[in-house]
Chains A and B, each alone.
Chain A
Amino acid sequence: MANNGLRDVAIVGIGATEYYKRGESWPRTTTEMACEAILNACADAGISVKDIDGFAYYSGASAGYGDKMDTADFMECLGIDEVTFTAALTSGGGGAAGSIGLARAAIVAGDATVVVTVMALQQAKQRLGTVFSAAAPNPINSFLQPSGLAGPGHLMSVLARRHMHLYGTTRDAFCEIALTERENAQNRPKARFRGTPLTREDYFNARMIAEPLCLYDFTQENDGAVAVITTSTERARDMRQRPVPVVAAAHGGRREWGRAFAWMGMPDEYFASAGNRPIADRLYKQAGLTPADIDVALLYDHFTPMVLMQLEDYGFCERGEGNDFVLGGNIRYSADPRPGQIPVNTHGGQLSEAYIIGMTHIMEGVEQMRGTAINQVTDAQHALVTGGPASLPVSGLILGRSDS
């Protein structure tokens, strides 16, 4: 029998708040926004919030990097009666897609039946963009902070430069990624940059923050919350929405990537990468698929070069050929892409819609598989969703289309 992937759990509900520029959601709190997203996801699924019995977080259940989420707070606030599973993947945004695999683990093990994954961000106190410069020194970051690499984008600029050095990658390719995502956001009602097109001139005239990266290579910083509900495939059939089966899910990674740009010790093959190759190999094996079977790719896009490097990690092009692949127009949205093309971040991504640490990519993957996406890829059968690239775990997810 042909390998048809996991398909033992499905995503049945998605919900979000409005998206705000960083800090502007105040006086709303992380707990309030997370609860709204959870309630919206329950309404989408057609279930009561009291049906939730599991929580599967990532990023150590942190809300961004400075605040926290806690299951007991949500139970107290929402009246959830009992949980039978509450756990988080370690580290940061690398686990975003993998959190659905954690939800699956709980469901397949019989520990929980309706599991929610949630992320909420409120940046009134500290922006993410320079979060490291504000962190208290510790014995390990003392080997990084004094250099002035003040935030994640500063760190990844060093990886981008190495990729440019090894493979001849150009800023034109980073520009094409930024332009593609901005174009995709133009018809998104909630996108912060709806109605603000980006041109090549804008890109090359923009302020350089950490060369080789400029303002438009950096993601936005947003406030908001997104929640996703996962349940068994069997139970999913009775819910309101067309179920979106989880075809493959993986998190982890190799020590050659490790702490990644917080470490900088990676050998060349990993240094100029997104650290996702081991995840890609596992996903395709679980799913019985190849890159050619993926119809839409929702790639974690905190910074443009990491999109290019994920295209290589996930096999849409060879290592070192990301530049030419991107500049060939192959990641632009098309409802009916030609073979070899792969529409990327059809929702505008974190660069141009909203940065909720990877959660909007899961939502867009679900909408593409329901057939209800705003920038729908016609009859898309498989969506790739990724987390990270960041310190391990990095993660990925392949979502499928159900028959009914």
Chain B
Amino acid sequence: MVLATALPSEQVHITTDPITEPFWQAAKEGRLAAPKCAACGHFRLPPTPYCPECQSPEVEWVELSGRAEVYSFAVVHGFPGLPDITLVPVVVDLPDAPGARLVSNVIDIEPGDVEIGMQLTVDFHPIADGWQLPVFRKAQ
């Protein structure tokens, strides 16, 4: 039985800028957060400097429940330097941040069990430089 994993912690590097950093600071603390336009309430990911709906720069960072739904996914066999790894990269909808999607991984699951519409919950995977990466598991 092959279980999907995330990439090894030491191999995952991220960088931030002032617009994206709150997302990663929240993840570091074990919280999934998304930027919501403070003027019109529209959610967006990745974080960007202006709201695409109303052009306001004002943002409210909202802590989400961590629930997610599989919108689409791949089953990736191998990665440069890791020929035997199995990954399930996933695009998820976030029900409490409508309109915003995340690209992440489903972990600890047989790839054949993943399907579009499956309900997921967030978990956090340590990565380089002390950051944490939001990843997802099948909801119980």
Chain B min CB distance to A185 (Å)? 27
Residue of chain A at shortest CB distance from B104: A147
In the bound assembly, the distance between CA atoms of A212 and B17 in angstroms comes to: 34
Is the pair B14, A142 in contact by a Cβ cutoff of 8 Å? Answer: yes
Chain A min CB distance to B58 (Å)? 20
- A332 interface contact, C-beta 8 A: no
- B89 interface contact, C-beta 8 A: yes
Would you give the 0/1 interface string for B54-84, flagging 1 where the beta carbon is closer than 8 Å to chain A? 0000000000000000011111111110000
A74-82, A131-139, A293-301: which one contacts chain B? A131-139
- A148 interface contact, C-beta 8 A: yes
Is the pair A211, B20 in contact by a Cβ cutoff of 8 Å? Answer: no
Residue of chain A at shortest CB distance from B102: A143
- B26 interface contact, C-beta 8 A: no
Chain B min CB distance to A197 (Å)? 26
Is the pair B71, A210 in contact by a Cβ cutoff of 8 Å? Answer: no
Contacts of A161 in B (CB 8 A): 72-74, 116
Chain B min CB distance to A306 (Å)? 15
Is the pair B80, A134 in contact by a Cβ cutoff of 8 Å? Answer: yes
> Given known contacts A158-B74, A209-B76, is B15 in contact with A148 (CB within 8 Å)?
no
Interface-centre pick from B17, B19, B91 (highest chain A CB count, 10 A): B91
| B side interface size, CB within 8 A | 40
- A255 interface contact, C-beta 8 A: yes
- A286 interface contact, C-beta 8 A: no
- A242 interface contact, C-beta 8 A: no
Contacts of B122 in A (CB 8 A): none
In the bound assembly, the distance between CA atoms of A161 and B111 in angstroms comes to: 14
- A264 interface contact, C-beta 8 A: yes
Contacts of A139 in B (CB 8 A): 15-17, 19-20, 46
In the bound assembly, the distance between CA atoms of A159 and B73 in angstroms comes to: 8
Contacts of B109 in A (CB 8 A): none
Is the pair B77, A208 in contact by a Cβ cutoff of 8 Å? Answer: yes
Contacts of B133 in A (CB 8 A): 146
In residues 141-196 of chain A, which contact B (Cβ within 8 Å)?
142-150, 154, 157-159, 161-162, 165
Interchain CB contact (< 8 A) of B15 among A137, A154, A212, A271: A137
> Given known contacts A148-B87, A158-B74, is B45 in contact with A143 (CB within 8 Å)?
yes
Chain A min CB distance to B21 (Å)? 8
Residue of chain B at shortest CB distance from A165: B116
Residue of chain A at shortest CB distance from B87: A148
Residues of A within 8 A of B (CB): 130, 133-134, 137-140, 142-150, 154, 157-159, 161-162, 165, 207-213, 255, 263-265, 271
Residues of B within 8 A of A (CB): 6-7, 12-17, 19-20, 24, 45-46, 52, 71-80, 85, 87, 89-91, 99-105, 111, 116, 127, 133
9 A-B interface contacts by CB (under 8 A): A139-B15, A142-B15, A150-B76, A162-B72, A165-B72, A211-B75, A211-B77, A213-B74, A264-B101
4 tightest A-B CB contacts, nearest first: A142-B14, A211-B75, A147-B89, A148-B87
Known pairs A142-B16, A211-B74; list 7 more (Cβ under 8 Å).
A133-B79, A147-B104, A147-B105, A148-B79, A148-B89, A162-B116, A212-B74
